[in-house]
Structure 1
Amino acid sequence: MTDAEHDPSGEQAVSNELAGVLPVEFVAFHSQNHVAYLEYAHLELGSSEAAEAVVDDVFTFLLEVWPDALQEANLNAFAWAQLREHVERYRARQVVPVALVDTARYAALRRGSRRRLKLVESKTGVYEAIAELPDRHYDVVLLTFVIELETAQVAQLMGIAPATVRSHIHTARRMLADKIRLDWTPGEEKDL
């Protein structure tokens, strides 16, 4: 499988041997977030191998600090921040540019709908504009429109309120519309 065909749909569960010795909450957290973390890291780094290495590092770190992580005001927000930090550190060590432009375009093409093909072709520059959004807006747009998670899933994953996700989407859409000179009317469906 090539990086352009990355498909993390095969959920990687913690092995049965380890599940018996790891904290139950950690195993549940891993199972709930692993696939989304992989998809995000892959879009960011452009490589399945890099994504797997980074996500493994994140979960290893979280396991090492698990008792302290559970004391955080928002475990999901803490873990999401760790994922972003690990991705950035990997990118800095490897001198990896943001890969969203290529991987998102391939993901859209691979899904095969005519509508997505038209969007990719007619809105050249949209992925580049997304890459320039502020961090939170970028993450919300990526998770909502590229990975196609529901608002509640994005909120849970990032450790923010669903209303905050909607607010970030609204602001990001305005910013993107200005950037790529797209006529956008508030209240339209959530397509970019």
Structure 2
Amino acid sequence: MARVPLDFQAFYQTYHRSYLRYALLQVGDEETALDLVEVVFARLLEDWPKVLREASVQRYGFSVLRHVIATHLSLARRSRALVETAAFEKVRVVVRRQLEVMESALGLYSAIARLPERQMDVIVLRFVLGYDMSCTAEIMGISTGTVRSHLHSARRRLAGEIGVRWDSWEAEEIA
């Protein structure tokens, strides 16, 4: 049996938890999310020399994750579970919120789910899962400036959809 390259092991240890949290929000089931993430890492390991030649290993890995999730959801004829799972992830973490806040959050999570893919990914990683800007950029394999740009566009779009004034809305209020 071939040895697993050390750089792959490091990549796996660095991103497995983030990928799993992201997949769980998308599919809504821990076992399925774990299976999908393992498929992602198996594909990456199989093509590891090719992956290392990519401009960004992180961006390539995250794109494989998104593709595997999208394929699974398509074959299962399901939509993303983000609306339900993101709301309940936040409720679990911040139990003290009242029911009216949760109803408002469901509308927000529905609006997030309708964002263009990259904007949605940045919002989910940054505010739903709580990663900071640099970690979000690292997970997605993009620059922090690109994260800021996607956040700016997503905040404008979300503010319009949920009916708040753009200039009075702080990004930290998303979660």
TM-score range, shorter chain: over 0.9
Offset, 1:189? 4.8
Residue 112 of structure 2 is aligned to residue 135 of structure 1? no
Q: TM-score, normalised by structure 2?
A: 0.92
Residue equivalent to 1:150: 132
Let me know the Cα RMSD of the aligned residues. Answer: 1.9
Residue 131 of structure 2 is aligned to residue 179 of structure 1? no
% identity of equivalent residues: 39
Structure 1 portions without partners, runs of 5+: 1-17
Q: TM-score, normalised by structure 1?
A: 0.84
Return the letter of the residue paired with 2:86. Answer: A
C-alpha contact 1:109 1:117 (8 A) present in aligned 2: no
Offset, 1:121? 3.3
Offset, 1:114? 3.6
Deviations 1:31-79 (A, max 9, x none): 0000000011010011111101110000000000000100111111111
Higher helix proportion = 2
C-alpha contact 2:28 2:85 (8 A) present in aligned 1: yes
Residue equivalent to 1:105: 87
Residue 16 of structure 2 is aligned to residue 23 of structure 1? no
Structure 2 portions without partners, runs of 5+: none
The DSSP-based 3-state class of the residue aligned with 1:121 is helix
C-alpha contact 1:77 1:159 (8 A) present in aligned 2: yes
Matches within 5 A, 1:45-56: 45-56=27-38
Structure 2 residue corresponding to 1:58, chosen from 8, 15, 40 = 40
Instruction: Classify 1:116/1:173 alpha carbon distance in 2 versus 1 (closer, same or farther; 3 Å).
Output: farther
Offset, 1:98? 1.0
Aligned equivalents of 2:78 and 2:68: distance in 1? 13
C-alpha contact 2:159 2:169 (8 A) present in aligned 1: no
Aligned equivalents of 1:189 and 1:125: distance in 2? 16
